[in-house]
Amino acid sequence: MNDTERRLALAESILAIKALSHRYSNLCDRGFDPDRISALFVDDGVWDGGEIVGRFEGREAIRTFLAGLAKVVTWSGHFVVNDEFEVTGDTASGLWRCIAVVNNPGVEPPIDNWYFQDYHFECVSKDGVWKFRSIRTDLRKTTGYVPYIAGHAPVIR
Amino acid sequence: MDGDFAARLRRIEDLEAIRDIKHRYFIALDKADWAGVVRCFTEDAEIDVGLGVQRGLEEIANIFHEVYVKAFDWWSHQASNPVIDITSPTTATGTWELEGFVVTQSPATGLWTAVFYEDEYRCDNGKWLISRSTVVPIFRCDVEVGYTKQRMVGLPED
């Protein structure tokens, strides 16, 4: 592969990885589609939500977790911004910031929540298709999440 | 440059051109630049932003102008999460997710909204344009009430 071919392959990888995070986020907002989201991971992929949400290893465990989440979260909006990542051949790692609005499923009556959350990820390309090896997002270490109606000042960590 | 290399480069150029035209569309909307909005569409474009289907550039220009002038003081469109698939050398599909803020005229109310855009694009004479665009709402609420209590508030003309 000459220098021009490497640059072309890198540009293709960057666009494919951006699309992967966008596809993941859009599917979250279509009822956490368990089959289609879990298919974005490699077979032994990991979704790690930290102590609050839990760690799920393997595509089937991720699918089961998402199916449960879909039953309790009425709906959500995940907006991807500020992604930064490094591509090294057929692997890549980095993060994207997500501004999310989500029904809080753990409170009765439900309340609005506004999340400002970092998603750290690793992904790998096999046969030209990029998939997640892992996604890690820890609510305790994120910028913050707040009950929407209370405003931004009382940030809960 | 061999054929495969040229096709791969063309695909990248196409993806970026489609993203660019959609960004120009949102910026034109927020500037109330109706001529700029119209320049983002094919002549036979069809859109459905929740106010019925508009066909052709004249109807598209009219619907935005009428709704904005009659009902809104300002609006702001923040688009993210584009997933674009090139389906042929001259056609493509795309999904975007958008968070928007609107201030209505009477009563003066701040609305917060989120929607999906389901789009189709066509390359006419070397330029990618929006040929079809359908808005799928997620929520629209009074900012002082929130989206759980008020999932889908009506617009002034509803």
DSSP codes of every residue in A105-131: TTSSS--EEEEEEEEEEEEEEETTEEE
Write out chain A residues lying below 8 Å of B9, CB-based: 8
Say yes or no: A5 contacts chain B, CB-CB below 8 A: yes
Q: Does A29 contact B116 at a Cβ distance shorter than 8 Å?
A: yes
Mutate to test the interface with B, among A4, A7, A74, A75 (most CBs of B within 10 A): A75
Average pLDDT over residues A44-73: 93
* Cβ–Cβ < 8 Å for A42, A133: yes
Average pLDDT over residues A139-156: 58
Residue at B154 is within a domain: no
Residue at B32 is within a domain: yes
CATH number of the domain at B51, please: 3.10.450.50
Counted domains in chain B: 1
List of residues 6+ apart from A86 with CB closer than 8 A: A92, A93, A94
Q: Does A22 contact B82 at a Cβ distance shorter than 8 Å?
A: yes
Alpha carbon distance A97, B115 (integer Å): 19
pLDDT tier at A51, thresholds 50, 70, 90:
confident
Alpha carbon distance A153, B82 (integer Å): 31
Residue at B153 is within a domain: no
Q: Does A77 contact B138 at a Cβ distance shorter than 8 Å?
A: yes
Whole-number pLDDT of residue B50 = 87
User: Tell me, what's the ipTM?
Assistant: 0.86
Whether A144 has a pLDDT exceeding 60, the answer reads: no
Percent with pLDDT over 90 in chain A: 61
Domain that holds residue B50: 3-142
Alpha carbon distance A57, B155 (integer Å): 45
CA distances from A65 to B33, B81, B90 (A): 46, 23, 40
Whether B75 has a pLDDT exceeding 70, the answer reads: yes
Q: How many helices (H) and strands (E) does chain B have?
A: 3, 6
Whether A156 has a pLDDT exceeding 50, the answer reads: no
Q: How much is the CA Rg of chain A, to the nearest whole Å? A: 17
Q: Does A112 contact B81 at a Cβ distance shorter than 8 Å?
A: no
Residue at B30 is within a domain: yes
Whole-number pLDDT of residue A108 = 65
Alpha carbon distance A126, A90 (integer Å): 7
Instruction: Give which of A99, A100, A97, A92 is closest to A134, Cα–Cα.
Output: A92
Say yes or no: B138 contacts chain A, CB-CB below 8 A: yes
Whole-number pLDDT of residue A154 = 47
Residue at B14 is within a domain: yes
Q: Does B116 contact A75 at a Cβ distance shorter than 8 Å?
A: no
Whole-number pLDDT of residue A147 = 62
Which of A8, A12, A149 shows the shortest C-beta gap to B146?
A: A149
Which of B12, B80, B97 shows the shortest C-beta gap to A15?
A: B12
Whether B79 has a pLDDT exceeding 80, the answer reads: yes
Residue at B42 is within a domain: yes
Neighbours of A67 (CB within 10 A): 15
A77 token code pair: 């909006």
Q: Does B139 contact A149 at a Cβ distance shorter than 8 Å?
A: no
Say yes or no: A99 contacts chain B, CB-CB below 8 A: yes
Average pLDDT over residues A74-92: 92
Domains of chain A, CATH where assigned: 3-150 (3.10.450.50)
Alpha carbon distance A101, A29 (integer Å): 10
**Contact pairs from chain A to chain B, CB under 8 Å:** 67
Write out chain A residues lying below 8 Å of B147, CB-based: 101, 112, 148
pLDDT per residue over B10-62, tens digit each? Answer: 999 999 999 999 999 999 999 999 999 999 999 999 999 988 999 999 999 99
Average pLDDT over residues A40-55: 94
Write out chain A residues lying below 8 Å of B80, CB-based: 22, 25, 79-81
> What pTM, to 2 d.p., does this model score?
0.89
Residue at B156 is within a domain: no
List the single range of A77-81, A143-147, B79-83, B118-122 with lowest mean pLDDT: A143-147
- What mean pLDDT value characterizes chain B? 90
pLDDT tier at A110, thresholds 50, 70, 90:
low
Say yes or no: B146 contacts chain A, CB-CB below 8 A: yes
Alpha-carbon torsion, ordered A27, A33, A38, A40, to 10 deg: -30
CA angle, residues B115, A148, A69, in degrees to nearest 5: 65
Whole-number pLDDT of residue A35 = 97
Average pLDDT over residues A88-115: 81
